[in-house]
């Protein structure tokens, strides 16, 4: 049983089905590990122990009775703290919501419960999902299990740490600019961003609570972080589909385009002057290319047919992103506004100016960006007639040190190959899929020079979630894949 908490969710579901372990026993394994390790990691911020034990017991009874079971039946999981949970506080890292207890579940949470998932608790994140680290004034920072001096990534950093360190079977999260993929890369996991609008975000807090729960934040998508890529399949089975308010429309994910690594048509975007990567990311790409070529895959490095340049895509992304963020103004304080203006003066063409313009842009300006977004989406659609996936970095580096400037967000820097670069370079590679609306799945490839995980991501056609997941699964078998953080085994 020692390796049980680190097994894939698929293996745990098999163990539950065979009777090797009960849902209640598996839950207690995770609770014991949470009580032992969470104080150091600060990954899980709210537990729902009484209900989880009751639900696990009911799952065991249903299995014995021969009832029809869902794809996640009896599996203990965690949720990012941006999803409403009935009777359990949902804070979203925001001080103004520190006592917020919804009276209903978010739509995705309702679907996870219907699929048999047992909800252990909620995981840490930045205020309003608006950072690439999991740190907030309510709960403080989440620490990377590979090196607690390093960030977990974000926004779904708490869930990534909980999954990597064996505190949960998987974490269900969300993202608007890499929030599942970046922490998955930093913690050595498979992370998935679902196709835009394929999983309803009703009850996802940035638009809530109250009547806002019915809104769905532009660009935002659901996602999950797991220890094996195949664990993503039952999560998608449980959650993909239109909300009831859309009537008779349906949404079905396309089957994988290939079942063998050698049958994939792979475009490879190795590097870009708009967002250079360090030697660790380059080495991970070399490892992946060797594995693909050995398998006989059709590989084309930086094809001339790439449908958009990174600067052009990122310009649209920032305009849409800050337009979306204008709904949640809880973080706009006198101190944060002063810091923003100071950075605008310091770097008039930097991210702070984009934030200022995007936050107060006209609706006409937003519509212009939206039109360009959909034109880019069409170009990607045409590109994926000739390729199945695009393989590219997730971020320029491994997990950087914690940044404690929660207010002065645009005063941060990271080091890339010995050069100082903008902190927000961390989202540029991931944002390509957010603009395209495409699914993307990270693959843990190797361990970097600093002992931290290094991953890559595969982006695919809209609706092709099972294609990127299958590709990640197959490539993951040929590279290092998920490794348990040694200090938490």
The CA distance from 115 to 73, in Å, is 6
pLDDT, tens only, 248-298:
788 889 999 999 999 999 999 999 999 999 999 999 999 999 999 999 999
Predicted confidence at residue 335, as pLDDT, reads 84
Flag whether pLDDT at 141 surpasses 90: yes
pLDDT category at 173 given cuts 50, 70, 90 is very high
Flag whether pLDDT at 212 surpasses 90: no
409 or 185, greater pLDDT: 185
Question: Cis omega (within 30 of 0) on the bond before 269?
Answer: no
pLDDT category at 327 given cuts 50, 70, 90 is confident
Taking the domains of the chain in order of start, what are their residue ranges?
4-267+391-488
Predicted confidence at residue 300, as pLDDT, reads 98
Give all strands (DSSP E) within 48-161, no chain letters. Answer: 76-80, 118-123, 143-144, 147-151
Biggest distance spanned by C-alpha atoms of the chain: 67
- pLDDT more than 90, % of the chain: 87
Predicted confidence at residue 249, as pLDDT, reads 83
Flag whether pLDDT at 394 surpasses 90: yes
Mean pLDDT within 51-76: 97
Mean pLDDT within 40-49: 98
pLDDT category at 437 given cuts 50, 70, 90 is very high
The CA distance from 29 to 196, in Å, is 35
Predicted confidence at residue 194, as pLDDT, reads 98
pLDDT category at 331 given cuts 50, 70, 90 is confident
Flag whether pLDDT at 214 surpasses 90: no
Flag whether pLDDT at 350 surpasses 90: no
Q: Which of 153-162, 163-172, 206-215, 254-263 has the lowest mean pLDDT?
A: 206-215
Q: Was domain 4-267+391-488 assigned CATH 3.40.120.10? A: no
Predicted confidence at residue 221, as pLDDT, reads 97
Predicted confidence at residue 90, as pLDDT, reads 97
* Average confidence score pLDDT of the chain: 95
Q: Spell out the residues 6+ positions from residue 92 whose beta carbon is closer than 8 angstroms to its own.
A: 81, 82, 125, 127, 128, 129, 205, 206
Flag whether pLDDT at 309 surpasses 80: yes
Predicted confidence at residue 209, as pLDDT, reads 77
Predicted confidence at residue 409, as pLDDT, reads 86
Flag whether pLDDT at 329 surpasses 90: no
The CA distance from 53 to 74, in Å, is 11
pTM greater than the 0.75 cutoff: yes
pLDDT category at 477 given cuts 50, 70, 90 is very high
Q: For 98, what's the count of Cα atoms within 13 Å in the CB-facing half-sphere? A: 7
28 or 217, greater pLDDT: 28
pLDDT category at 328 given cuts 50, 70, 90 is confident
Q: Spell out the residues 6+ positions from residue 420 whose beta carbon is closer than 8 angstroms to its own.
A: 413, 414
pLDDT category at 349 given cuts 50, 70, 90 is confident
Q: Spell out the residues 6+ positions from residue 286 whose beta carbon is closer than 8 angstroms to its own.
A: none
What b-and-e string marks burial along 331-351, b requiring 16 or more CB atoms within 10 Å of the CB? beeeeeeebbeebbeeeeeeb
């Amino acid at each position: 049983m020692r390796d049980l908490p680190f097994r894939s969710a698929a293996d745990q579901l098999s163990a539950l089905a065979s009777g090797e372990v009960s849902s209640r026993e598996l839950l207690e394994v995770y609770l014991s590990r949470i009580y032992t390790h969470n104080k150091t990691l600060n990954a899980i911020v709210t537990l729902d122990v009484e209900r989880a034990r009751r639900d696990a017991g009911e799952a065991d009874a249903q299995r014995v009775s021969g009832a029809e079971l869902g794809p996640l039946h009896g599996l203990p999981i965690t949720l990012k703290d941006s999803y409403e949970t009935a009777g359990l506080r949902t804070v979203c890292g925001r001080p103004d919501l520190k006592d917020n207890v919804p009276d209903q579940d978010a739509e995705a949470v309702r679907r996870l419960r219907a699929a048999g998932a047992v909800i252990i608790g909620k995981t840490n994140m930045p205020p309003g999902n608006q950072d690439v680290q999991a740190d907030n004034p309510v709960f403080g920072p989440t620490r990377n299990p590979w090196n607690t001096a390093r960030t977990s990534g974000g926004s779904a950093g708490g869930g990534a740490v909980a999954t990597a360190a064996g505190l949960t079977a998987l974490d269900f999260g969300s993202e608007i600019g890499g929030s599942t993929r970046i922490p998955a890369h930093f913690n050595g996991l498979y992370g998935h961003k679902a196709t835009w609008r394929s999983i309803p975000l009703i009850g996802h807090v940035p638009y809530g609570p109250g009547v806002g729960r019915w809104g769905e934040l532009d660009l935002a998508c659901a996602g999950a972080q797991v220890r094996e890529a195949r664990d993503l399949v039952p999560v998608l089975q449980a959650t993909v589909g239109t909300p009831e308010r859309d009537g008779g429309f349906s949404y079905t994910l396309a089957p994988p385009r290939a079942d063998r690594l050698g049958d994939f048509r792979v475009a490879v975007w190795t590097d870009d002057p708009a967002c250079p990567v360090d030697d660790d990311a380059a080495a991970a790409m070399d490892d992946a290319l060797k594995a693909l070529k050995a398998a006989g895959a059709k590989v084309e490095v930086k094809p001339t047919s790439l449908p958009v340049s990174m600067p052009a895509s990122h310009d649209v992304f920032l305009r849409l992103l800050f337009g979306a963020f204008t709904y949640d103004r809880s973080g706009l304080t006198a101190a944060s506004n002063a810091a923003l203006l100071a950075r605008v003066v310091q770097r008039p063409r930097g991210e702070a100016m984009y934030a200022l313009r995007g936050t107060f842009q006209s609706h006409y300006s937003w519509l212009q960006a939206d039109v360009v977004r959909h034109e880019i989406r069409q170009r990607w659609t045409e590109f994926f007639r000739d390729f199945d996936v695009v393989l590219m970095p997730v971020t320029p580096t491994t997990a950087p040190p914690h940044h404690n400037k929660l207010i002065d967000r645009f005063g941060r820097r990271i080091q890339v190959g010995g050069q100082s670069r903008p902190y927000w370079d961390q989202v540029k590679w991931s944002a390509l899929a957010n603009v395209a609306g495409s699914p993307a799945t990270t693959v843990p490839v190797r361990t970097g020079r600093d002992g931290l995980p290094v991953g890559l991501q595969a982006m695919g056609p809209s609706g092709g979630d099972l294609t990127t997941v299958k590709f990640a699964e197959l490539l993951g078998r040929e590279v290092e894949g998920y490794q348990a953080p040694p200090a938490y085994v």
